[in-house]
Amino acid sequence: MLGYLARRIVLAVAVILTVIAALFAMMRAIPGDPVRTALGPRASEAMVETYRIKMGLDQPVIVQIWRFFSTILQGDLGSDAISGVPVARIIMAQLPDTLYLVLGAMVVAVVPGVWLGVLSATKRGSLFDRVTSVLSVSVMAVPSFVIAIYLLLIFAIQLSWFPAIGAGEGLADRLHRLVLPSVALGLAWIGYIARILRASMLEVMGENHIRTARAFGLSERKIMYDYVLRIAILPTITVLGMGIGQMLSGAVFAEIVFGRPGIGKLVYDSIAARNYPIVTGTLLVTTGFFVLVNLIADLLIAFLDPRVRNVVSR
Amino acid sequence: MSRDATQAPVLQVRGLDLSYDTPAGALQALRQVNLTIGKGEIVGLVGESGSGKSTLMQAILGLLPGAAKVQGGQILFQGQDLAGLSAPQMRGLLGDRISVVFQDPMTALNPVLTIGRQMIDIQHRSRISRAEKRARAIGMLERVRIPDPESRFNRYPHEFSGGMRQRVAIAMALMARPALLVADEPTTALDATLEIATIDLLRELQAEIGCAILFITHHLGVVAELCDRIDIMYAGEIVESGATAPVFRDPRHPYTQLLFACDPAQISRPMRHLPSIGGGLPDLTHLPPGCIFAPRCPRADATCRATRPADHQAGPSDLVRCHYPLAPRLEITA
């Protein structure tokens, strides 16, 4: 298990370093002189030269790379191009709202998704199974921002059950305002999870050890939840790990449509204002978060499946 | 051990007809199957692949796939017709009065649960504490000669060898001291030395527990070694049945004779080609009108091709499904 853990962590670190390298390459690749871009066309030659030295752009590339990596790894993501506030502080202020939203979307996706998946696998071929299948595919096909707008129209404007915009104050109000955006972001995932889980449940149900469990007279409920689901849930966990990344990018739409603060809104505004330090900083933080979530997913799978941790550590 | 006529049999299959729904029509997988297993008896069920051995086993265990339908007949277990039982009633018997050991020990155990967890789970009927269940399971592992059962108890199946996994499966099957153990080719996936050890172990535990065993195999040597009686299956019918040694000496059904002649263990001198029975299994969706073996039988005549044979007693065999069962042994040159 320890060997497995070490390998996964090394891999996660490698991914993050690659992303930082890609970020550096991307900044070099942007056409135009960064100093000219920063200071504007009317800056004097002396100002440009001073700024170039201040930014370290007069140094060889290898030194620039080293400085780039070392400042980022120290947690310094640079300063806001407009206000001069450290980017890390701005992102950390916005991050919790996005995490609540993604967490809410996960709950919306996982709880009904697992339930529908298990039920359609056990009632395979029934009317319930077929209706679930058609609905899953239809909902998956609708983009989440379309769902978001319809949710707003129906539940916030027509029925007035939920407030339309904002993140709210206090726990109850925050949760209340979290419902619609979470549903908008998570709804399509219900069907996706249900489909994947159904397929892997059916595969496991056909395995010999399930026949053994039946031959010992175990109850159908025990077989489904203890013997089948425990194995069938593994691919779903992997997909959910990946899904977090999708939800983070989906959060941009949800946050704009519902007027919520968060990383997505921050990136959107920063791109509009050409505020690149914030864009790259956010990219790094979300990548780090994504890598972390996938690391957790892998460890969860290793915890649930003894074969995984043994094969890799041997 | 010969069959005691005064004691009621543990299992009696009478006139069992079973078919599968297929796109090509009803596939008549079992036809008029009669099988009797006496108390504490070991019965070998042999037949080639596709002969219906597994279907018969699944019918006895109530683990038939959805497309299978019992069309007629009875499966009497201690006098109770299993074919008429509801799923919960059948669950009440499985793993308690009737147990099974499956063929492939590598896939027969749940890979993500420890051996111990699985052995505790199958004692779901016992109203004893978890600690007692654990102690019983460890005791059973010791009886099947798993070394160091205390620490093995918390191990996963992939940490055991194939032979050990099959012994664990035997331990699980016999833990409730069932009246009938169905062993579905339990040694086919093992190598020769492990096969002998596993059979010795089964015999030893059988003598101690006194359960009857239905031993499904295509290995004739194992039947000769282990079984009191032999039942030979061909294309969904039991064609011959009797006490093992006499049937091996003097088989009365042409199929049995050919099957024995094709057993590599019976061939003393090296040959370029191993003998085989000409032709293939018949199409069970469109049965021939006469004897099921007639198309491949070297002795078949017009009667065989026109009418189905009844079960006769012939020579040492209690049951021979053939029109001419009393014919002397043929010199087979297959």
| Residues in chain B closer than 8 A to A222 (CB atoms) | 121, 124
Closest residue on chain B to A314 (Cα): B159
Q: Are residues A28 and A99 in the same domain?
A: no
| Residues in chain B closer than 8 A to A231 (CB atoms) | 110-112
| Residues in chain B closer than 8 A to A213 (CB atoms) | 110, 121
Local confidence band at B334 (pLDDT 50, 70, 90 cut-offs): very low
Domains and CATH numbers, chain B: 11-109+178-321 (3.40.50.300)
What is the Cα gyration radius of chain A?
Answer: 24
- So what's the pLDDT on residue A311? 58
Q: Are residues A20 and A136 in the same domain?
A: no
Q: Are residues A6 and A149 in the same domain?
A: no
Q: Are residues A255 and A185 in the same domain?
A: yes
Q: Which of A51-55, A293-297, B101-105 has the lowest mean pLDDT?
A: A51-55
Q: At residue B157, what is the residue type?
A: P
Rounded mean pLDDT of B309-323?
87
Interface of A with B in 227-246 (CB under 8 A): 227, 230-231
| Residues in chain A closer than 8 A to B108 (CB atoms) | 208-209, 211-212
Rounded mean pLDDT of A127-155?
84
- So what's the pLDDT on residue A247? 86
Q: Are residues A211 and A300 in the same domain?
A: yes
Closest residue on chain A to B64 (Cα): A211
In a domain, A81, yes or no: no
Q: CA-to-CA distance for A167 and B61, rounded, in angstroms? A: 59
Read off φ and ψ for residue B187, nearest 5 degrees: -115, 0
Q: Are residues A189 and A68 in the same domain?
A: no
Q: Which of A15-29, A91-105, A220-234 has the lowest mean pLDDT?
A: A15-29
Q: Are residues A173 and A285 in the same domain?
A: yes
Across the interface, do A208 and B102 touch by the CB < 8 Å criterion? yes
> Which residue range(s) make up the domain with A69?
2-73
Q: Does A89 touch chain B (CB under 8 A)?
A: no
Helix, strand, or coil here: A44?
coil
**How open is the CA angle A109-A114-A118, to the nearest 5 degrees?**
155
More confident residue, B83 or A30: B83
Across the interface, do B96 and A217 touch by the CB < 8 Å criterion? yes
Q: Cα distance from A216 to chain B (closest Cα, Å)? A: 4
Cα-to-chain-centroid distance, residue B203: 15
Q: Are residues A186 and A272 in the same domain?
A: yes
Across the interface, do B122 and A305 touch by the CB < 8 Å criterion? no
What DSSP designation does B185 have?
Answer: S
Last residue of a domain, one of A38, A73, A108: A73
- So what's the pLDDT on residue A314? 39
Rounded mean pLDDT of A232-237?
93
Across the interface, do B112 and A218 touch by the CB < 8 Å criterion? no
What DSSP designation does B328 have?
Answer: P
Q: CA-to-CA distance for A29 and A10, rounded, in angstroms? A: 28
In a domain, A80, yes or no: no
- Residues B259-300: pLDDT tens digits? 888 887 777 777 777 777 877 788 888 888 899 999 988 888
Instruction: Please state, as a whole number, how many other Cβ atoms lie within 10 Å of the Cβ of residue B332.
Output: 14
In a domain, A271, yes or no: yes
Q: Are residues A149 and A292 in the same domain?
A: yes
Last residue of a domain, one of A73, A100, A134: A73
Q: Which of A145-154, A187-196, A209-218 has the lowest mean pLDDT?
A: A145-154
Q: Domain total for chain A?
A: 2
Q: Are residues A181 and A222 in the same domain?
A: yes
Q: Cα distance from B67 to chain A (closest Cα, Å)? A: 14
Q: Are residues A191 and A127 in the same domain?
A: yes
Residue B331 confidence (pLDDT) above 60: no
DSSP code string of B292-323: TTGGG-TT--HHHHHSPPPEEEETTEEEEE-S
In a domain, A157, yes or no: yes
Q: CA-to-CA distance for A214 and A220, rounded, in angstroms? A: 8
- So what's the pLDDT on residue B3? 47
Interface of B with A in 100-159 (CB under 8 A): 100, 102, 104, 107-113, 121-122, 124-125, 156, 158-159
Q: Are residues A93 and A67 in the same domain?
A: no
In a domain, A156, yes or no: yes
In a domain, A82, yes or no: no
Which site among B54, B77, B110 would you substitute to test the A interface, given the most A Cβ atoms closer than 10 Å to its Cβ?
B110
Local confidence band at A313 (pLDDT 50, 70, 90 cut-offs): very low
C-alpha distance across the termini of chain B, in Å:
34
Across the interface, do B112 and A208 touch by the CB < 8 Å criterion? no
In a domain, A79, yes or no: no
Mean pLDDT of chain A: 84
More confident residue, B274 or B110: B110
Rounded mean pLDDT of B308-328?
83
Rounded mean pLDDT of A46-58?
78
Q: Cα distance from B121 to chain A (closest Cα, Å)? A: 8
- Residues A165-194: pLDDT tens digits? 776 777 777 777 888 888 888 888 999 999
- List Cα–Cα distances, A184 to A95, A180, A252, A253, B8, in angstroms: 19, 6, 12, 9, 68
- So what's the pLDDT on residue B232? 94
User: Are B269 and B275 a contacting pair, CB within 8 Å?
Assistant: no
Mean pLDDT of chain B: 88
Across the interface, do B95 and A215 touch by the CB < 8 Å criterion? yes
- Residues B130-178: pLDDT tens digits? 999 999 999 999 999 999 999 999 999 999 998 899 999 999 999 999 9
More confident residue, A31 or B62: B62
Please count the residue pairs, one from chain A and one from chain B, whose beta carbons lie less than 8 angstroms apart: 79
CATH code, A234: 1.10.3720.10
- So what's the pLDDT on residue B74? 92
